[in-house]
Copies of this chain bind each other. A is one copy, B any other.
Amino acid sequence: MPRLPFPDLVRELHCVLSCQGVPDARAALVARLFAENQRDGVYSHGLNRFPGFVALLKSGRLDPHADPVRVGGLGALEQWDGRMGIGLSNAHAAMGRAIELSRQHGLGCVGLRNTNHWMRAGAYGLQAAEAGCIGICWTNTIPLMPPWGAAEVAVGNNPLTIAVPRADGPLLLDMAMSQFANGKLEVYQRQGRELPVAGGFDRTGNLTRQPGDILASRRPLPIGYWKGSALAVVLDAAAALVSGGQTSQQIAQQGSEYAVSQVFIALNVTALDGADHIDATVNALIDHLHATRPLVPGDAIRYPGEGMLRIRRESLAQGVWVEEGQLEAVRAL
């Protein structure tokens, strides 16, 4: 299993992006974000997405030179236009601005429109948590799920992140509204395995654990059935209103996913009374989870983000895991 030191991976990606004409500071940032996703074990939004991202740059449908601009707002709530720039650096700028607003106002919120895929939702939650803030952010997407009761795709899977700061590593929720991502369904299908729980409907409208049936029907299941469907709808509406941007339906009318809408909120809890207790509070919560009796004796109850932090430590100690041939593919871009 090939492993690469994290700084080397960043350097490789930076080099490719520079060659594609991405301005240097932005190339460094985007390279770091892709490399961090891989470092943290989020392989679904790491190196595997990098060739597609470079292809998008080459196609000219993304503008690597576009800076996001503030187009409106009031006080600690701002609207920014991503100007069809790079989704990762736009999102990083937007959360950065929300954090900055939170230094003065206690919290900050940025609605970002006309932006592109940010890859990993959790990255921008982590950014806030590393700055001592609770970070909340979400994006809409092109429709990927049937709303509850429907036979056809009409809502996005609209990933949501909530990150809570902690000295030894944050709590991190990073979840899409579908029970399984399409990529995950494909992995199970290739391996000939059933899903651990129902992940969608087959063509006849029955819940199923067969990944192939769900991919064929295009009916992945929202988390919690009607609940995740409703959450996806309100997140979409809120993203469009806060940013002044497009809803999932409007994105669908374009035919492919671009010019999406996102929301970034930073809550500056370290500015509050009791900030010296943040770590004690979160650590006690973690200790309590760890002490909870498991269903399967010997299993560990994990806090959100625990697996990610474990992989990050491994990656930093032993190098970042890279799939066979993946690095060669990057170098050939």
Q: Judge whether B75 and A238 touch: CB under 8 Å.
A: no
Chain A at the B interface: mostly helix, strand, loop or mixed?
mixed
> Is A134 at the interface (CB under 8 A from chain B)?
yes
Binds B, one of A13-21, A25-33, A282-290, A325-333: A282-290
Q: Judge whether A173 and B284 touch: CB under 8 Å.
A: no
Binds B, one of A35-43, A55-63, A88-96, A239-247: A239-247
Residue of B150, B231, B247 touching A173 (CB-CB under 8 A)? B231
> 1/0 contact trace for A93-126 toward B, CB 8 Å?
0000000001011110101000000000000000
Interface residues in A199-243 by Cβ distance below 8 A to B read 201, 205, 207, 223-225, 227-228, 230-231, 233-238, 240-242
A241-B173 contact in complex given A105-B76, A249-B285, A304-B233, C-beta closer than 8 Å: no
> Is A149 at the interface (CB under 8 A from chain B)?
yes
Residues of the B chain whose Cβ atoms lie less than 8 Å from the Cβ of A225? 179, 197, 223
Closest to A291 in B: B154
Interface residues, chain A, CB within 8 Å of chain B?
Answer: 71-79, 102, 104-107, 109, 111, 134, 146-152, 154-155, 162-164, 171-173, 175, 179, 197, 201, 205, 207, 223-225, 227-228, 230-231, 233-238, 240-242, 244, 247, 249-250, 265, 267-269, 271-274, 277-278, 281-282, 284-285, 288-289, 292-296, 299-304
8 contacts between A and B (CB under 8 A): A75-B107, A77-B107, A77-B268, A77-B272, A149-B300, A224-B224, A238-B267, A247-B281
What separation, in Å, do the CA atoms of A285 and B158 have in the docked complex?
15
What separation, in Å, do the CA atoms of A240 and B77 have in the docked complex?
24
Residues of the B chain whose Cβ atoms lie less than 8 Å from the Cβ of A205? 295-296
Q: Judge whether B109 and A284 touch: CB under 8 Å.
A: no
Residue of B149, B171, B234, B265 touching A296 (CB-CB under 8 A)? B149
Nearest CB of B to A209, in Å: 12
Residues of the B chain whose Cβ atoms lie less than 8 Å from the Cβ of A201? 295
A238-B162 contact in complex given A72-B273, A109-B107, A179-B224, C-beta closer than 8 Å: yes
Residues of the B chain whose Cβ atoms lie less than 8 Å from the Cβ of A163? 234
Nearest CB of B to A225, in Å: 6
Q: Judge whether B175 and A227 touch: CB under 8 Å.
A: yes
Nearest CB of B to A280, in Å: 11
Nearest CB of B to A33, in Å: 22
Q: Judge whether B234 and A162 touch: CB under 8 Å.
A: yes
Q: Judge whether B105 and A247 touch: CB under 8 Å.
A: no
What separation, in Å, do the CA atoms of A289 and B229 have in the docked complex?
11
7 closest A-B pairs by beta carbon, nearest first, are: A223-B224, A77-B106, A74-B106, A75-B105, A230-B304, A244-B274, A72-B273
Residue of B237, B244, B273 touching A164 (CB-CB under 8 A)? B237
A151-B294 contact in complex given A234-B173, A304-B234, C-beta closer than 8 Å: yes
